[in-house]
Structure 1
């Protein structure tokens, strides 16, 4: 949870080192150490812990200074002499909230810490998940782009073949334009893939703090165990956050109930009179009298109890939502895996075989160049599509394990 304490160490790393490509694990560690949202959440936890120190403490004493029994009528009116009751007074008073209220205040402060820590855990999980997905997206976007560039390179050899056939008179002049048309189509597709690379790099840079974020190494191979994930749903940060909110609501109930118990105050004062008379000392004890609880404290207690009941119901609803989302994600993962297998075992081999046959037919003069080139483009698109499907499977595994599991960088 506090892995971003590594931030000072990473700050000492030269900029050139930060600009180097990152492995999957390195990207997670760097995001955990540099994400501002995590540092903000940690500051929130520290703020709640500082607040808890003062919770349940006695309030500050009250100092009072005044003049008592100053005459405003009769012979001694508006004078300080000649009246035995006029005196300068200085006093101090201390309030003592009832013990139940002080315990409830301490309990509410601890509940606030729990809520802040749960929010930090949720944010840490979100940062890990977003970083992992950004790394995966960049990795596969670059692979798809590289696959398309290989097709572009192969078009150079094809152009040479067409030029040779034109020179021998076995090809029409218009056929010299067909490789260029295919290159234009490939260029459009490359622009799309370059945009995907740029967007994935921007996401990874935002999360890791590296403006030149890049990837290196291979993605992790993660197994998806639905049974094990369902068994640990209750420990997920999202549900622990709802548990913390329910405990905070229960603390509010205790605090509202404590208001039905009387608080009390003790005060003492010293009165200085004319030297002809003696000084005085006073002691007071004040106690609150909650006689009208049915119209004051009880409605507030009922409201807090309703809020606590709502928090517990929201926790139950949250668990159902998580289980439903997990089942949905598992179904998508199974579907994406089947689509990947279909691409690898059927679609790509068929597209490759068709391209080979069409190029052979073109070489034998049985097929026009345009059709042969379209088959070549279809093969490249099949390869790129297979990589997209592989990326979908990898994204599913990352999202499921980092959302419903206990994954750590």
Structure 2
């Protein structure tokens, strides 16, 4: 009698769990506000990203300073008195005395000014490419958090269904225990299972709140209203892998991180050109006008004087200056190119690792869907039948139901891991 009563309770609980599942799937996620899509959130975050504004300010600073540094030096004004006698300090006593005014202008060394402007624009371009890297970083971070929230939402639903089943079972056992039908250990076991699920649900809510707190860095207050119910489609990524690329270097070369190093290489090569210009002489021009008040010895007025000079430095001793600058600039080019090659190799290895993870996760998911979950459900059903026939105990059914839930959660975790692998690939290949 006791076994049959509890079995009927289990059957009723199972039906209620299915009804709860069906009702929950038809319930709208948010009847008050329509939740924003992932793409909408990403676009909003990028548009309001303060870091990108900072990058643009830095690029504009470098560009403007490059324009300023590529101009000719300001002319110098020279004023003074020449040949003033110290005994009288008279301007009209000695014909050699004059008041002079001059202008001096120094020119750039070779083609160095235009090269400095070119290099500054390349450096500014490299900084602006970092804005593209930042956009990808924001996209990856928000997508990753969205995937985790979708997984936590799915696992929360699974655990709530399991909790509802065991709560209903606990009520039946408590009622039957009161009339002497159920055993104390069965009731305690069911209550313990409810407490375990409560703990799992609390942990799930904590992780969801933490993820939304992290999303607030990019989304502000709307992060707390994010409702992630579906995973991304990855259409661009799927189209890329459909073509079965032999390697990924061509796609990686277009990545903003690599384009940043490309601009640095160009800037370093311009630095070599600038170092070569240091072997050129630097010219300057000076023009002076001297006004005289004294007369000549024959009494006629002394004429004013005009002087003109051309200055030129002579880079004769280049071993410790120009040669070292050129060598340093050449080493800088080598360092920039090595940095690019290293970044390509690292990113290619990351793509290969993520692709391997994705393939293996897909194979594991097939196993979960076709075998493990099916076997777990069959085991639970078999124990229910055994309990009906007095060949199994209630704790066996609880363990089987818990194991079935664990397998469902593992499958959900694998599905989320597959999405995270796709997210990594989309970031590295720039295929969002």
Distance in 1 between residues matched to 2:225 and 2:263, nearest whole Å = 36
Report the counterpart of residue 155 of structure 1 in structure 2. Answer: 166
Deviation at 1:192?
Answer: 2.3
1:113 aligns with 2:127: no
Shift of the 217–156 alpha-carbon distance from structure 1 to 2, 3 Å rule, reads: closer
**Counterpart pick for 1:342 among 336, 353, 367:** 367
1:40 aligns with 2:54: yes
Once the 2 structures are TM-superposed, how far is the Cα of residue 79 of structure 1 from its aligned partner? Answer: 5.7
Aligned length: 386
Structure 1: distance between partners of 2:83 and 2:111: 39
- The alignment status of 1:193 with 2:204, answered yes or no, reads yes
What is the distance in 2 between the residues matched to 1:174 and 1:217? 39
Q: What corresponds to 2:254 in structure 1? A: 235
* Maintained 8 Å contact 1:269/1:282: yes
Shift of 1:116: 1.1
Q: CA deviation at 1:259?
A: 0.9
Q: Is the 8 A contact 2:122 2:267 kept in 1?
A: yes
Q: Of the two, which has the highest radius of gyration? A: 2
Question: Quick check: 1:27–1:135 contact (8 Å CA) kept in 2?
Answer: no
Q: Distance in 1 between matches of 2:90 and 2:368?
A: 105
Deviations for 1:303-354, whole angstroms, at most 9, x for unmatched residues?
1111112211222222222222211111111122222222222222222222
Structure 1 alignment gaps of length 5 or more: 1-18
Residue 257 of structure 1: aligned partner: 276
Q: Which of 400, 403, 407 matches 1:382?
A: 407
Contact 2:285 2:311 in 1 (8 A): yes
Query: SS in structure 2 opposite 1:212?
Result: helix
- 8 Å CA contact retained: 1:260, 1:297: yes
Q: Which position in structure 1 is the counterpart of 2:102?
A: 91
Alignment partners' CA distance in 2, 1:320 and 1:45:
28
Distance change in 2, residues 1:142/1:290 (3 Å): same
- Residue 208 of structure 1 pairs with residue 258 of structure 2: no
Shift of 1:175: 2.2
- For the pair 1:53 / 2:67, whether they are aligned, the reply is yes
Contact 1:125 1:403 in 2 (8 A): no
1:244 aligns with 2:260: no
Q: TM-score, normalised by structure 1?
A: 0.87
Other structure's SS at 2:194 match: helix
Shift of the alpha carbon at 1:377?
A: 1.6
Alignment of 1:128-143 (within 5 A): 128-143=139-154
Contact 1:87–1:271 under 8 Å retained in 2: yes
- TM-superposed deviation, 1:221: 2.0
For the aligned residues, what is the CA RMSD?
A: 2.3
Note if contact 1:355-1:375 (Cα within 8 Å) is conserved in structure 2.
yes
Partner Cα distance (1:195, 1:99) in 2: 66
Partner Cα separation in structure 1 for residue 165 and residue 229 of structure 2: 27
**Cα distance in 1 between the residues matched to 2:210 and 2:369:** 27
